[in-house]
Amino acid sequence: MGASPAPPLPTVSLADRIDAALPQTQCTRCGFPDCRGYAEAMASGEADINRCPPGGAEGIVRLAAITGRGVHPLDPERGQEGPRALAVIDEDWCIGCTLCIKACPVDCIVGASKLMHTVIEPLCTGCELCVPVCPVDCIAMVPVTGDRTGWQAWSSELALEARERYAFHRERVERERRENDERLAAKAAQKLADLEAASTLTDPQLLARKRAVIEAAMQRARAQRAAAGAAAGPGEAGAGRASDDVATPAPAPGGRS
């Protein structure tokens, strides 16, 4: 009896190969929500390969080899190639607004509402997304790689870690959104169960109208959750904004903390 045939190897799409060649800083300077979105746009022909400042000139060469397209200079509208920078928070000016925590795509900023925030420097990708959201302008980007720029200032290992942390971030945000929706739905259901006691209204017609409004809102919320789940697909989390004021750092690959 012959040996069983080997299982087929998983198919690696062009978007997968392109995504693997990106630095995974999730900076959005390419004009897309994240590195995966840019990879898919390149794979479909929607976007050119010269829109990633963190990857720089070397990144364009790598993408050209994968896509078969010509090498072009970095699109100046997307920024300039430069040394890798880390976000540094001026703790004397930080007001604890948590906006930078919510903006960070890799959960490398920790803190709580009205308390000082700080950046976990080894985990910062230099995306700069925390800078514009700070209402007191207390975040600075400090270059840390000297004259090294692009992929010379980055590495495949750092890119892999950033990708994993971004995936954890997306899952956390989706979980918090779902849990918040469930809390609101439970609160609405509890109020609806005894609307007469929960409301200051006493007129039966007004109570009936309020009940109809609450039931319609709950139905819309259920439909939105179902649509979001169908769009995400099995095992896939949607991106969104964090709902809590405290961010828990994602576990780093290899047991790093």
Q: In terms of pLDDT, which residue wins out, 125 or 223? A: 125
Q: Which residue has the tokens 């990857």?
A: 55
Position 192 scores a pLDDT of 74
149 lies in some domain:
no
158 lies in some domain:
no
89 lies in some domain:
no
212 lies in some domain:
no
Which CATH number fits the domain that encloses residue 66? 1.10.15.40
Strands 118-119 and 109-110: antiparallel
Q: In terms of pLDDT, which residue wins out, 156 or 199? A: 156
145 lies in some domain:
no
Say if residue 107's pLDDT is above 90.
yes
87 lies in some domain:
no
Range of the domain at 26: 14-78
57 lies in some domain:
yes
Q: Are 113 and 245 in contact (CB under 8 A)?
A: yes
169 lies in some domain:
no
Position 68 scores a pLDDT of 96
Number of domains in the chain: 1
Share of the chain above pLDDT 70, in %: 85
Using a cut of 0.85, tell me whether the model's pTM lies above it: no
Q: In b/e form, how buried is each residue of 119-157, taking b as 16+ CB within 10 angstroms?
A: bbeebbbbbbbbeeebeeebbebeeebeeebbbbbbeee
